[in-house]
Amino acid sequence: FSISELEKPVLGENVDQDGPLVYFHDLDYRRIQKPGEPFLDIIYQLIQKYDHGDIDGFLDRCQVYPLHRSIFKSYWTKGIAEREEPMIRTELSYERERFIRDAFLVFEEAVKLHPVLIVVNRMQIASAGTLWIIKRFIELQETSKGRAMEHGNFGLVLAMSDTVPIPNYTRRVWED
């Protein structure tokens, strides 16, 4: 049995336009994953559909760290994550943690635009970055109060396949 068998009959086009948008994302070990896959692409789709494509206004509402704004914006507009200012090596851990926090804030603001259900198949082959984002989403969700995700605007189903092993390069993230 594979969750991908459910894609067409259950996760097809939304019949109820007021209901949540349903995204089915199938991770494939034969393809290099994009950063934050599938979350950043879904956020951009929500901005385009429900916020008139106003990326700058959206990032303002999210209060994204100023040095990270260009990363989000260039990824969504050019498909390449570019940073306007160089990174300071001594602040890499802060930058990573802050970027994950910003990704959470951006995602949280996006699901306020419209409810979303995401189904990710073969989660065990997700990139380390995606795993860190999901882990932080869970931690932040447990500590946030009055946020969009607490009001039922977001659902996440993570499916794993017994036939596909966890890659060695992400095993440490899984163990954390």
Cα separation, 73 vs 52, in Å, equals 15
Q: What is the pLDDT of residue 176?
A: 76
**Residue 14: what are its φ and ψ, rounded to 5°?**
-70, 125
In tens, the pLDDT along 150-160 reads: 556 888 888 98
Residues ≥6 apart with Cβ < 8 Å to 87: 95
Which residues of the chain carry a pLDDT beneath 70?
Answer: 1-18, 140-141, 143-152
- pLDDT averaged over the chain? 82
In tens, the pLDDT along 102-131 reads: 988 898 899 889 988 889 999 999 988 888
Q: What is the pLDDT of residue 144?
A: 61
Give yes or no for a contact between 119 and 11, defined as CB atoms under 8 angstroms apart.
Answer: yes
